[in-house]
Amino acid sequence: MKTISLILSAFLVVLWIDLYPQDQPVYPKKVASGTYLGLSPPLRELPVVTAAELKEYEELNKVKPFNKWPDPSYPFQETALPNGPDPVWQSKMGEMDGGKGLEINFAGQASGVNPIDPNGCIGPDHYMQTINFVYAIYDRTGTLVAGPTALNQLFSGVPGSNCNSGDPIILYDEQAQRWLVAEFSLCNANQYMLIAVSQTNDPTGSWHKYSFDVHDTPDYMKFGVWRDAYYMGTNTHNADSCDIYAFERSQMLIGGSADMVMFDNPWRPGTLQGVQCALPADNDGTFAAAGEPGIFMILNNDAVSGGSDQIWIFELAVNWTTPGSSTFNRVQQLNVPAFDANFGANWDNIKQQGTAQELCSISDLIMNIPQYMNWGTYETIVLCHTVDVDNTDHAGIRWYELRRTTGNWSIRQSGTYAPDAHSRWMGSIHMNMHQEIAMGYSISSSTMYPGIRCTGQDAIEYAKAAGVMNVAEMTIQTGAQSKTWGNRWGDYSSIFVDPVDNRTFWYTQMYIGSGTHQSRIAAFNVFPTSIYVDLNAAAGGNGTIGSPIKTVTLANQAAGPGTSVYVRVGTYDESNPILLHEDGMWRNYDGNAIIK
């Protein structure tokens, strides 16, 4: 059960937020140029990290001053909602089979560093994974082709590359067909963000390497790709600290002189000592319209800040001609279904089998990065975070799909996935070009070792917008041990869509094996093995029962070997070729006739 922690500074917190004019843009606190020192050697040629080096990183990690966050506090818990179970709780497992299911599932990197911070991304021919403090590059079958190598080797020579501080990030910039990798450097008088962009779409080749002198400890940074910049949000514990950044993407792609703008965000919900990070949206697929500002998002938890549970949405309009005129502004406070993110007065939150040691939930933060997609006539964002579904420290994953046609963002659907008594947390969510959603996460309880699972929402369920993950849960890794040496878990875990087929999801997360942190990398699909096709008025179809299925050609639908095909008659909506009608009866088509 929870311990309600009251603090005397609640008034000061509200006062701090109100010191700034609401919804008035602020200007950069600092504009600076990065240091560029040319190309790295090809990553395939850099030396593999030694066991001694890994041990050194483990020892250094033990004394990091930022390794323990301040304990959470909930001064408004008595008035916070909900007064009961989560209002959008999905308490039953999805029943739709996982389609092609897990196509690939292989071991990633392992380390005794605490935490391991695994994250990774898929490109045309490679999967690149980063953990504290190394990178590794695999081909699409899971064969290691480069590394594992100490990450700061990539940045050799730039200011700050003398230390390997960690919190690594890897993204694939799909529109430019380039990779981005970053880590912070904290061992010098000045603190740096080290960022590299690959010279080609082959991550085993050379990279443009940059160093940016940033403000204060840029803890827990998260990056997003946007047309005009690489955006970054960081966690800050101080009242006067830059936590919003933009880096000049166009120059970094060509190895030019790149600027950086930094903002001190005046709209930080919650206590000044809490864990705060406004995450930038990552633009997948078609870019947002030229000139559309970059988007940042943060949670407002009513138990921490008062008011109501909300997603705060910010816009950063960068101007690289006159960077000092760039602006950052809170543009919307979006009410969401009430959630409970209070797991008590410390970060020991998630139960494990066979030990009293509990794991960190990081329940006040959006996990991974919000994913933005431009569909032409509308835009979408998906995101998720951890909540307590029934006031018993039973963790589930609250997720949202936001949509904007014109004007403000609204919630199209939301749900909290917790289909049984086990806790699910550290979620990572993405949507593909076929309007299928996938979510990966960790799972644990007093009767289960921490493991890795995933679920999803297929296109038929997506059209209903009911907030239900209808795909039956898939197991990526069954837990075999619990973690007994601290509470930090895989809060950098990431899921991304394959840029080759725009459909398959690639996910990485950690578990415990052989007494240390292990990781898995898995690729999976959520479309059903049963393909649904409407014959009426479809391209090539005449609407007659029993029409040959081969004459029906519909976008995003294809039947493969061993696939059951279902057909029906009804009204065909040309604006939605996925055909998701509620009316009509589905009949099995066995290749010759409709089975009634």
pLDDT tens sequence across 322-368: 999 999 999 999 999 999 999 998 999 999 999 999 999 999 899 98
Distance CA 197, CA 364 (A): 31
Contact criterion met (CB below 8 Å) for 353 and 483: no
Residues in contact with 476: Cβ distance below 8 Å, sequence separation at least 6, in sequence order: 102, 105, 440, 451, 452, 453, 454, 507, 509, 520, 522, 524
Greatest CA separation for the chain: 76
- Please list the residue range(s) of the chain that carry CATH number 2.130.10: 10-524
Coil, helix or strand for 125? coil
- pLDDT of 568 > 70? The answer is no
Is the pLDDT assigned to residue 414 strictly greater than 90? Answer: yes
Per-residue pLDDT for 559 more than 50?
no
Listed ranges 190-204, 224-238, 580-594; the one with the highest mean pLDDT: 190-204
What is the pLDDT at residue 383?
98
CATH number attached to the domain at 10-524 = 2.130.10
| Model pLDDT for residues 131-180, shown as the tens digit of each residue | 999 999 999 999 999 999 999 999 999 999 998 888 899 999 999 999 99
pLDDT over 50 (residue 473): yes
pLDDT tens profile 119-132: 999 999 999 999 99
- What value does the mean pLDDT of the chain take? 85
Average pLDDT over residues 531-550: 38
Strands (DSSP E) along 525-581, which ranges? 530-534, 564-568
pLDDT digits (tens, 9 = 90+) for 268-322: 887 545 678 999 999 999 999 999 999 999 999 999 999 999 999 999 999 999 9
62-94 residue pLDDT tens: 644 444 677 888 999 999 999 999 999 999 999
pTM of model > 0.85:
yes
| Cα separation, 525 vs 487, whole angstroms | 31
Burial class (CB in 10 A: 0-12, 13-18, 19+), 550: exposed
More confident residue, 260 or 13: 260
Listed in sequence order, the residues at least 6 apart from 590 whose beta carbon sits closer than 8 Å to its beta carbon are none
Nearest to 394 by CA among 352, 363, 450, 350: 350
Encoded tokens for 51? 């066991």
pLDDT of residue 199: 98
Predicted pLDDT of residue 51: 86
What integer pLDDT is reported at residue 543 of this predicted model?
A: 35
Q: Which strand (E) or helix (H) includes residue 381?
A: strand 379-388
pLDDT at residue 219, rounded to an integer: 86
Cβ neighbours around 238 below 10 Å, total: 13
Query: With contact defined as beta carbons under 8 Å apart, do 128 and 140 qualify?
Result: no
The 3-state secondary structure of 21-32, one letter per residue: CCCCCECCCEEE
Question: Taking residues 196-201, what's their average pLDDT?
Answer: 98
pLDDT at 11 over 80: no
